[in-house]
Amino acid sequence: LPSFAYFYVEISEFYAEMPTASLPPPIREPAAVGFPASDARPDFLIIGGGVLGLAIALACRRAWPEASVILLEKEARCGEHASGRNSGVLHAGFYYTPDSLKARFAAEGNRRLTAYCRERGLRVLACGKLVVARNAAEVASLETLLERGRANGVPLEPVTHDEARRIEPRVKTCGRALFSPTTVSVDPGEVVAALAADAQNLGVRIHSGEGFLGRTPDGVVRTARARYAPGYVINAAGLQADRVARAFGFSRHYRILPFKGLYRYSNEPTGAVRTHIYPVPDLRHPFLGVHYTLTVDGRIKIGPTALPALWREQYGGRQGFSARECLEILARQTGLLVHAGFDFRRLAWTELRKQSRHHMAALAGELLEGVHADQFRERGRPGIRAQLIDLRTRRLEMDFVLEGDARSLHVLNAVSPGFTCALPFADHVRDAVARHLQTPIPT
Ligand SMILES: Cc1cc2nc3c(=O)[nH]c(=O)nc-3n(C[C@H](O)[C@H](O)[C@H](O)COP(=O)(O)OP(=O)(O)OC[C@H]3O[C@@H](n4cnc5c(N)ncnc54)[C@H](O)[C@@H]3O)c2cc1C
């Protein structure tokens, strides 16, 4: 029922805005095929100009300065998808189980990206973060987070209600909370632009407005402008990563199930909330629940939701619509309503209710005093998570996934905290490439 109600709401919105024909799907047949000699055989061809594609391009170029690196970005500029539409929070790294890649990279990523922003003169808001237990049942999960923080080497302070109130005078707790001093805010657009500039200065050729369309059996990559015979391909295509990977024979057991994140801005002035405030998350899901975040300039917003989206780039209206993809995803969601390896029905219903401003404000009101729905009339720019589902277990994948061989490597499930992890994650990808190519990285 929730799926159908949501489908009805979204499709009515879609038809209301739809002029005549629908847009072509993102991966389509080339309009023209050229073969610019200088571009034909790059050592590395990177697909996707989000934070990960850019960080990987930089890491490869630094490791192998003689190698030519071309980055394909299908949009007119880099960072138009998750990397430019996220919360801008550099997570500290205490949510993740110590054996995960997320745990391995988040704390280091937080340190390195914070330092990078400071060195490059980009804005950083060092406001920290409170995680609050709203009831006695959540105190146990707070303990789990504290243990994970310790295991992951993350500074994290257990605080009482009074101590939490000294950090944020309006916060509500059931007596216990955690304070993370190293959680900071940055401007994701500024970070992407700085990485893109660094990559270009280092000799990476960014081809924006040029999307990967397909690959011939002999390994030639097609775009609408050119054909490439790359030495090695690295796929960091975010929401499209599983489709790109399938063109190389990977992602057989995975599909991206997109989840849309909606935000609402508060009309309260800068300074009305002093720190990020998060609830204790449901650790069975990769989502963190409705929380308060401060943007780098101190604006207050709540969200994001995790609504099951009907197509990958369903930001609003008909944008990115593909009938085939919509039917495929609907069929998958309907299947998950009947039989999933997790409680998809409950998740979908919980998230669907957050479409209502009043409900979202009520959830935010569990974290902070003095909250009213009227404060949240302004919507933020939505983002969509490239969340992977494992077709064998019908479960959401909780960690980053990498697949590859001696010809190509595919970054799948680059979900939160992918932005925070970008720099060490890129080094990890570089090392995996070196292993596949059996090429040592010069020291
Ligand atoms: C709502 C939301 C909130 C989040 N909040 C946080 C947060 O606070 N902190 C945090 O650490 N992480 C957060 N994340 C996660 C973070 O944004 C992602 O992990 C990260 O941005 C992933 O980067 P990416 O480069 O893999 O993907 P993207 O930024 O999506 O980049 C992929 C790029 O590939 C391009 N592309 C796709 N197909 C093709 C093709 N065929 N040819 C060429 N190019 C192609 C796309 O245009 C896009 O630019 C959030 C994500 C969302 C959605």
Give tens-digit pLDDT for 259-309: 999 999 999 999 999 999 999 998 888 888 899 999 999 999 999 999 999
Write down the pLDDT at residue 238: 98
Reported as a pLDDT band with limits 50, 70 and 90, residue 324 is very high
Is the C-beta atom of 57 inside 6 A of ligand 1? no
Is the C-beta atom of 49 inside 6 A of ligand 1? yes
Tell me the C-alpha to C-alpha distance, in Å, between residue 181 and each of 129, 146, 158, 191.
7, 13, 11, 21
Reported as a pLDDT band with limits 50, 70 and 90, residue 48 is very high
- DSSP H helical ranges for 210-274: 241-246
Question: Residues 227-239: what's their mean pLDDT?
Answer: 97
Write down the pLDDT at residue 20: 29
Q: How far is the CA of 82 from the centre of ligand 1 (A)?
A: 3
Quick check: 129 and 161 in contact, CB under 8 A?
no
Is the C-beta atom of 419 inside 6 A of ligand 1? yes
For residue 31, pLDDT beyond 50: no
What's the chain's average pLDDT?
90
Is the C-beta atom of 387 inside 6 A of ligand 1? no
Write down the pLDDT at residue 389: 95
Residues paired with 396 in a beta bridge: 389
Residue with tokens 């404000």: 361
Share of the chain above pLDDT 90, in %: 80
- Cα–chain center distance at 308: 15
The amino acid that residue 173 corresponds to is T
Q: How far is the CA of 238 from the centre of ligand 1 (A)?
A: 5
Is the C-beta atom of 236 inside 6 A of ligand 1? yes
Question: Residues 329-333: what's their mean pLDDT?
Answer: 92
Quick check: 85 and 381 in contact, CB under 8 A?
yes
Three-state SS across 166-194?
Answer: HHCCCECCCCEEEEECCCEEECHHHHHHH
Higher pLDDT, 351 or 9: 351
Nearby residues of 137 by Cβ (< 8 Å), 6 or more positions away = none
Q: Which ligand 1 atom sits nearest the alpha carbon of residue 192?
A: 29
Burial class (CB in 10 A: 0-12, 13-18, 19+), 152: buried
Tell me the C-alpha to C-alpha distance, in Å, between residue 29 and each of 106, 142, 215.
38, 51, 11
* Residue nearest atom 21 in ligand 1 by C-alpha distance: 83
Write down the pLDDT at residue 182: 98
Write down the pLDDT at residue 338: 86
Residue with tokens 């995680």: 131
Write down the pLDDT at residue 318: 86
Residue with tokens 């589902």: 389
Is the C-beta atom of 308 inside 6 A of ligand 1? no
Higher pLDDT, 431 or 317: 431
What pTM was computed for the model? Answer: 0.92
**Helix axis angle, 101-119 relative to 418-437, nearest 10°?**
110
Q: Which ligand 1 atom sits nearest the alpha carbon of residue 80?
A: 49
The amino acid that residue 296 corresponds to is V
**Helix axis angle, 344-353 relative to 2-17, nearest 10°?**
50
Nearby residues of 220 by Cβ (< 8 Å), 6 or more positions away = 227, 228, 229
